[in-house]
Amino acid sequence: MSATLFHKVWTAHAVRRLPTGQTQIYIGLHLVHEVTSPQAFDMIRARGWTVRDVARTFATVDHIVPTAAQRRPFADVMAEAMIEALERNCRAFGIPLFDLGSGDQGIVHVIGPELGLTQPGMTIACGDSHTSTHGAFGAVGFGIGTSQVRDVLASQCLALDPLKVRRIRVEGALGRGVYAKDAILEIIRRLGVKAGAGYAYEYAGSAIAGMSMDERMTICNMSIEGGARVGYVNPDETTFAYLQGRRHAPQGEAFARACAWWRSMASDPDATYDDEVVLDAARIKPTVTWGINPGQAVAIDERVPVPADEPEAGRAAVEEALDYMAFRGGEPIKGTRVDVAFVGSCTNGRLSDLREAARVARGRRVAPHVKALVVPGSERVRRAAEQEGLDAIFRDAGFEWRGAGCSMCLAMNPDRLAGREICASSSNRNFKGRQGSPTGRTLLMSPAMVAAAAIAGEVADVREMLP
C-alpha cells in the first residue's frame, strides 16, 4: 500500500479517533517560545495539570528579544516580564530553555534544526505559524495557538483533522541570482494565498532535490503564506548529511538505524496525490512583492498591476494594495526607493542567506538614505558568520550587525519601521503594519535582493550586481 509522507506520519502518530470525529495525534517535539506560552502555562497550572512529556519539550526566546542591546533587564519592561515568565515556567516544569547568551538561543525554527531536534518522520508543534519550516526535514509541523499549546503541554497531543496533499514539483535549475525565496514567492503568486487551506504541500522535483537544507527550510517556511498549514520535503541524503553529528541527532550506530527509518517515511514513488502542480525553475526570476499579502508579487523586470486590467472580482483588492503601498498601477517595481533593508527572520536568517547577502555587499556601501540591518537567525548562525568574516563585510558596507532574534519581521522588539517607510525585507509577510509602523510598507525578496536594494537605495536586480 503506497502512501505519502504526510499519511505515514499521520498514521504513525494517530492515537485514536475522538468522539468529535477529530483524530488525536501524538506530538513528537514541542517547541515553546515566550509569546504564545505564558497563558498556556497559566491554564495548566489553574487546572492542576503538569507538562506531560518534558523530554519532548524545548524552549527558547526569539520574538521579543532586542537585537541591539541584549543586557538584562531589558529596557522594555513588558519584554522583560515575558522572558522572565518563560524562564520561571521552564524552571517550574523542568523544560530545557535555550536562553539568551547560552550559545544556543535563536529563532525557534532556526535552532530546532541546528540542534538536531528536528528530524524526519516526526510530528512537531509550536505556537507559531512558521512551524511548517521543520517540514524541510520530512517532519510534519503544525503551527498552533495558545490553547493548543496548553493541549500539547498537558497531553503531548493535539486534536486535528487530516489534510489532503498537493505535490508541488519544481523541475529544472534556478538561474543565477534566483533563490529558494524566489521559488516560494512564485509558488504563492501562482497558487494564491488561500489555495493551501485543507492541504499539506509536498515540495518535490529536481530543483527541490538539489537544494540545501537551508533552502528547503525557506520553501517550507512560507507554506502558510500560501494557506497551507503544513509543508514538507521528503528526507534524502542531503537531510541525513545535515543531521549527522548534531547534538540531539542519533549518534554512532543509532544514526544508521535512524536513516533507515527516515527513508521508510518518505512518500512512496507510486503514492497518489489529491492535486499536483508543476513549475519550471528556469523561468523563475528574482521576485518582489508589491502589495499587502505575499501573493501580490512580480518578477523584478515586471510592473505592478493596473486595476483596470484585473478581473473584476480581484480589482478591489489590487486597488486597496496599491493605495496602501502608494504605487501607481503599471509602475515598474525596479527602482522603487527603499528606506530600510532587513536581512533576517526564520525564512532567511541562516548562514547561507547571510553568505549570499554578503556576496552582494562585499566592497560596496549601503546608500546614505538607507538604514540596513542584518539579524542572524540564531547565536550559532551569528558565531559561524563571524568566523567567516561576514560581520566585517556587512559592517564595512554600512549594515548594522545585530544579535539573534525575530526582530523586524514582526517588530515585537525595538526594531521597527517608522511612519510610511518602505522596507526591503527577507522576511515572510508584507501585511499592513507588519513591521511595526501601522502605515509601514514591506517588499519581500531574497536576502541577496535585500542587500542589492540596500546598496542601490532602491529595488535592484541582484543579477546585475553579483560578482
**H runs (alpha helix) in 31-179:** 38-46, 77-93, 108-114, 146-155
Give the C-alpha separation, 99 to 84, whole Å: 11
Q: Are 329 and 225 in contact (CB under 8 A)?
A: no
Smallest gap from Cβ 456 to other proteins, in A, equals 28
Task: Kindly report whether the peptide bond that precedes residue 73 is cis, defined as omega within 30 degrees of 0.
Answer: yes
Considering the complex, state which of residue 261 and residue 273 has its C-beta at the smaller distance from other proteins. 261
Smallest gap from Cβ 218 to other proteins, in A, equals 18
Tally of CB atoms within 10 A around 367: 18
Smallest gap from Cβ 393 to other proteins, in A, equals 31
Give the C-alpha separation, 109 to 218, whole Å: 11
Considering the complex, state which of residue 1 and residue 78 has its C-beta at the smaller distance from other proteins. 78
Output phi, psi for 400, to 5 deg: -85, 140
Q: Are 163 and 199 in contact (CB under 8 A)?
A: yes
Diameter of the chain measured on Cα atoms:
64
DSSP state of 14: E
Q: Which amino acid is at 210?
A: G
Considering the complex, state which of residue 118 and residue 352 has its C-beta at the smaller distance from other proteins. 118
Considering the complex, state which of residue 15 and residue 392 has its C-beta at the smaller distance from other proteins. 15
Considering the complex, state which of residue 181 and residue 429 has its C-beta at the smaller distance from other proteins. 429
Smallest gap from Cβ 186 to other proteins, in A, equals 19
Smallest gap from Cβ 171 to other proteins, in A, equals 28
Smallest gap from Cβ 219 to other proteins, in A, equals 18
Considering the complex, state which of residue 215 and residue 225 has its C-beta at the smaller distance from other proteins. 225
Smallest gap from Cβ 409 to other proteins, in A, equals 9
Smallest gap from Cβ 13 to other proteins, in A, equals 6
Considering the complex, state which of residue 230 and residue 460 has its C-beta at the smaller distance from other proteins. 230
CA distances from 374 to 67, 286, 366, 394 (A): 10, 20, 12, 8
Q: Where are the beta strands (DSSP E) in 327-393?
A: 340-343, 371-374
Considering the complex, state which of residue 129 and residue 446 has its C-beta at the smaller distance from other proteins. 129
If phi > 0 it is left, if psi is from -120 to 50 it is alpha, else beta; for residue 330 that is left
Q: Which amino acid is at 119?
A: Q
Q: Which amino acid is at 227?
A: G
